[in-house]
Amino acid sequence: MAYLQRAREPIRPHDVALVLGLAVVLVGDTLLFPTDGHGLTLAAVPAIALITLPLLWRSVAPKVVCQLVVLGVLACLITLKPTHVISLPPMVASYSVALHSDRLRSVVLAMATVSIAILCVIAFSEGGPAATDLVMNSAFLLLAVATGDAVRARRAYRVAAASREAERERERVAEAQRMVAEERVRIAREVHDVVAHAMVAINVQAGVAAHVLDRRPEQARSALQQIKASSGAALTDLRATLGLLREEGSAAPVRPAESLAGLPELAGPLRAAGIEVDVTVDGLQDGVPSPVGAAAYRIVQEATTNILRHAGARRATIAVDVGRDCVELRVEDDGAALVPVGGVVEPGSGSGLRGMAERAATLGGRLEAGRLDDGGWRVHAVLPLA
């Protein structure tokens, strides 16, 4: 079936030129070096055709072509008896077989062709075979097989190299796509943390201001000032985050990187909403790496946002313990209102909870969120320092 499919391919022009050239060489050798009883006769025409025409399909069925060429050699030795160039068509056929076969078949082919060449020289040499004829015919055939095998190996090497390069390119593209996806998730998480925290704080503080505007204008003024501070900080953080998407060289306003030192400011929106907050940070903050400090800040920020949004709490606690090996965070509230069912945070538990869990997991830490026995809610995270 493979031969039939490949046989439909057009004959290559250089194969036609090769066949014509070999036929001319065979005829010319016979005319220039005639021998007794042999010459260019009518019987020599099919012999020339048999030894040359099959070479037109040497890339389609090289083994069959090689067998036909061997028969053509015998026919030419019987009719034409060209003494100097009879080994040329077998060399081309042997080269083609070696080119389209593996190395083992090439070795077998070399042994077979050399044996046939020796037998032909012995059978058709007048007065016994000449040592030079044996050596020359064997050397030419071995050279053709070796050349074909070398070209095949070189082509296989190039194909393998191209395949490896294509695989590396696919891996580079996949890695680039993965990095883009991760960056999109990171930016989405940053935008969610900034916007959600600010909007919830503004919403709560605006409600407080509207509620006490007539009776306690000072508290309303404080709430409005807190709204201004929260919205300004949120806009700065949002512009800094979206600035990552700008072209290289475009500047974006930034605030100092978040750290444990900024945790007390996260209690402001809670206090403005009338929630009593305790913030404690134990341990040395100087030894906390920036990525850990920023992740701790964002986790506490999201936890306090959830308190404002869902808990309806009267009291909250933010506790941070900086140890030798890790930073441990606890954010708790008394849960005066209904809260989600607790448990270990899993992907899909909500954008905020999922974002906190992803931040902790990125640093090799862990995060759990769940309901307390008294109905409150706790977020507990452990972030390694190394």
Give mean pLDDT, residues 177-197.
74
Distance of CA 162 to the CA centre of its chain: 15
Q: What three-state secondary structure class fits 67?
A: helix
User: Does the pLDDT of residue 34 top 70, yes or no?
Assistant: no
Token representation of residue 313: 């709490």
Query: Which of 137-141, 199-203, 259-263, 328-332 reaches the highest mean pLDDT?
Result: 328-332
Structure tokens at 221: 């003024």
Work out the pLDDT band at 349, boundaries 50, 70, 90. very low
Cβ 380 vs Cβ 367: under 8 Å? yes
CA distance 170 to 288: 39
Rounded distance between C-alpha atoms, residue 28 and residue 23, angstroms? 8
Span 65-116, pLDDT tens digits: 888 888 888 887 777 665 567 778 888 888 888 888 877 877 777 677 767 7
pLDDT of residue 40: 65
Q: What is the mean pLDDT of the chain?
A: 76
Confidence check: pLDDT of 133 > 60 = yes
Domains, in order of start, for the chain: 2-166 (no CATH), 275-386 (3.30.565.10)
**Cα(379)–Cα(330) distance, integer angstroms:** 6
243 pLDDT higher than 80: no
Residue 339, pLDDT score: 39
**How many Cβ atoms from other residues are within 10 Å of residue 4's Cβ?**
9
pLDDT at 227: 74
Strand 343-344 with 276-282, pairing: unpaired
Name the band, by pLDDT with cuts 50, 70 and 90, for residue 344. very low
What's the confidence (pLDDT) of residue 167? 92
pTM for the full predicted model: 0.48
List of residues 6+ apart from 203 with CB closer than 8 A: none
**Least confident segment among 47-51, 153-157, 340-344:** 340-344
Q: Which residue has the higher pLDDT, 231 or 278?
A: 278
Pick from 7-16, 127-136, 374-383: least confident: 127-136
pLDDT at 196: 66
Rank 12-16, 185-189, 315-319 by mean pLDDT and report only the highest: 315-319
- Give the phi and the psi of residue 182 in degrees, each rounded to 5: -65, -40
Comparing 100-109, 159-168, 259-268, the range with the smallest average pLDDT is 100-109
User: Quick one: tokens of 371?
Assistant: 């309901």
Tokens of residue 57, six digits = 């399909």
**How many helices and strands (H and E) does the chain possess?**
11, 6
Alpha-carbon gap, residue 293 to 270, rounded angstroms: 21
